Amino acid sequence: MTPSPQERPYGGSEAERARATLSLGILVLRWATVAWTAVLAAATLSELRHPAVAWVVVAAEAAWTAWLTAARPAWSSPVLAADLALAVVLLALAGYANEPGRLAAGDRPVFSTAYPVVAALTWGACRGVRGGLAAGATLGLALLAARVLNGAGPEELRTAQALGLASGAVNFLLAGFGVGLLARLLDRSAAQLRVALDESVRARERAARLAERESLARQIHDSVLQSLAMVHKRGRELAAAEQVPGSELVGLAELAAGQERALRMLVLRPPGQPPQGRAALRDALEELAAATPGLRVTVSAVGPLWLPGGHVAELRAAVRQALDNVAGHAGTGAASVFAEQDGAEVVVSVRDDGAGFAYDEAALAAAGKMGLLWSVKGRVEQLGGTMRVDSTPGRGTEVELRVPVPGEVADRG
């Protein structure tokens, strides 16, 4: 069974929630670094070669972060690329804005190195360890560009100060790597959660199926197993007997046939949901057919035919009497029962291909031969219905009962 739509996204939404928290955290960090950049820019303004550039940097960071906050865009490749490009430009601008050689001195914090770290974090969060490392490496190169813009010559870069540069780059790499690792862990635990939840859903379904099987087994146990045991035991007894009366064998066969019908009804048809106060005429007729000894009764019904409980009971009794009539007078071993809804009426027909007779109510009544048919007719008329008998000597008999049904008859399966 497939899990319902409500159950399916457990693990997925768990991972999404964790990622949303991480993304929100990074956004908060963005604002903090914007503020920190502004503070540093203000504090070191007097030492700057191009103070206006510092304010452009702060404004650019604030504008980009404001847009990210307001639009909350998906971290698609273009957005990620724009974020990284901005960070690279900001880093490079720091070299341009500061007095020459200021970056190499390394004794005072440089105003624009904080914000680019966030870009490395974002790449790590969205593109995993590799994305984080790639962004970190790019920012490391941008740091190198900043040094060059700050007036550092190739010789200077070859000296021990290269170590200082490297440590700056390592910070970016670590930031990207760390968050990338975190994102991977989040995904992995969400996947584990999903597996665990799926397993628990499956276990619940298994338990429900087992319960259903058990209740079915209980229903089957009494009648079917008992009958099988009976057939088994009697079969052996009869095999050992010198002479086997045919009636004994027929009895066994009927026992098996009855159970076969009962089992088929139980297993093959999904139980319907009866409308309030109604019962399925089809089920009642099939049960009746299984319980009619000496007559092979085939029931064909168009749909379950949900009727008021009283109607089902009366129609069942009427059909039973009609079948008794077949068994008693038709001289045949088989009968067919057909039921369907015809407009606002339910039609039930009981048919046999037996002896048949000349149907003339007045003559039959005078001769006192109406017998069971009268009571069938009486029951049907009490329900406001009619009985029609169609019979010809030698051509079998069809008794058709038509009964109006209050409300709609649900013949849907």
Partner 1 sequence: MAEAGGVRVMIVDDHPVWRDGVRADLQAAGGVTVVAEAADGGDAIQRARETMPDLILMDLNLPTVSGTEAIRRIVEESPHVKVLVLSASAAEADVLEAIKVGASGYLLKNSTAEELAAAVRRVHGGEPVFSSSLAALVLGEFRRMSRAGPSNEPGLTARETEVLRLVAKGYTYREIAERLVISVKTVQNHVQNILTKLQLHKRYELMRYAIQRGLDRAPE
Return the number of the residue (31 or 357) whose C-beta is nearest partner 1: 357
Return the number of the residue (326 or 383) whose C-beta is nearest partner 1: 326
Other C-beta atoms lying within 10 Å of the C-beta of residue 379: 21
How many whole angstroms separate alpha carbon 31 and alpha carbon 369? 103
Partners of residue 298 on adjacent β-strands: 336
CB of 271 to partner 1, least distance (A): 13
Site mask for partner 1 (CB under 8 A), range 186-215, x = bound: ------------------------------
Residues touching partner 1, count (CB under 8 A): 25
CB of 281 to partner 1, least distance (A): 13
CB 323 within 8 A of CB 332: no
Q: Assign 269 to helix, strand or coil.
A: coil
270 burial via Cβ count (<10 Å: 0-12, 13-18, 19+): exposed
Return the number of the residue (327 or 335) whose C-beta is nearest partner 1: 335
Binding of partner 1 by 299 (CB under 8 A):
yes
Site mask for partner 1 (CB under 8 A), range 317-356, x = bound: ------------------xx-x-x--------x-x-x---
Instruction: For residue 372, give the nearest of 315, 323, 335, 331 by alpha carbon.
Output: 323
Rule CB under 8 A: choose which of 13, 219, 300, 382 binds partner 1.
300
Rule CB under 8 A: choose which of 264, 309, 310, 328 binds partner 1.
264
CB 305 within 8 A of CB 267: no
Binding of partner 1 by 246 (CB under 8 A):
no
Rule CB under 8 A: choose which of 74, 268, 358, 367 binds partner 1.
268
Rule CB under 8 A: choose which of 16, 212, 237, 260 binds partner 1.
260
Binding of partner 1 by 232 (CB under 8 A):
no
DSSP 117-128: HHHHHHHHHHHH
Binding of partner 1 by 219 (CB under 8 A):
no
Return the number of the residue (332 or 375) whose C-beta is nearest partner 1: 332
Instruction: For residue 63, give the nearest of 47, 86, 39, 92 by alpha carbon.
Output: 86
Helix (H) or strand (E) holding 398: strand 397-404
How many whole angstroms separate alpha carbon 119 and alpha carbon 129? 14
How many whole angstroms separate alpha carbon 395 and alpha carbon 392? 5
Sites of contact with partner 1 (CB under 8 A): 257, 260, 264, 267-269, 298-303, 335-336, 338, 340, 349, 351, 353, 395-396, 398, 411-413
